[in-house]
Amino acid sequence: MVSIGFLYNPHHRRVGASCGLKPSVTVDKRRLMLGSLVNSSLRVLTWCCVILLGILSLLPAEEMVRTGLPGRLEHFVAYAGSAAIAMAGYGKSRGGVQIIGGLWVYAGI
């Protein structure tokens, strides 16, 4: 850990500053790979949820397995769960409004 006095010391010279070299940045590649794997898995799971929601919406009411909750609450939980997974997978590259709006349009269709 670097102390504040070290950061504001005007007499401190950086190594490589005189020869124009930029300081190197250490990156933990295992952490990046794990993050990429989790992100990719969440994106695949998002599309599995979208397909499952489409299949379940086409089933007749007699063939559906019910939880005992009111139908509107079941729909809310299904779409909110799918939106949460989508936000975790796509949240940084897509906005929340775009993800939730897309699921809203998908539910309406």
Convert the pLDDT of each residue in 11-29 to its tens digit: 555 554 555 566 666 666 7
| Residue 20 Cα distances to 9, 17, 23, angstroms | 20, 5, 10
Q: Average pLDDT of 91-109? A: 88
Confidence tier at 1 by pLDDT (50, 70, 90): very low
Identify whether 38 is part of a domain: yes
- Give percent of the chain with pLDDT exceeding 70: 74
Domain count, the chain: 1
Q: In the prediction, which pLDDT does 27 show?
A: 61
State the chain's mean pLDDT as an integer: 80
pLDDT tens string 53-86: 999 889 887 888 788 899 889 989 999 999 999 9
**Domain-located, residue 10:** no
In a domain, 15, yes or no: no
Range of the domain at 37: 28-108
Q: What angle do CA 54, 96, 33 make, to 5 degrees?
A: 90
DSSP one-letter string for 84-99: HHHHHHHTTTS-HHHH
Q: State the Cα–Cα distance between residues 81 and 53, nearest whole angstrom.
A: 11
Q: Is residue 4 part of a domain?
A: no
Q: Is 5 among the domain residues?
A: no
30 φ, ψ (degrees, to nearest 5)? -65, -40
User: What's the token pair of residue 9?
Assistant: 């010391």
Asked whether residue 86 is assigned to any structural domain, the reply reads yes
Q: Would you say residue 13 lies in a domain?
A: no
Report how many helices (DSSP H) and strands (DSSP E) the chain contains, helices first: 4, 0
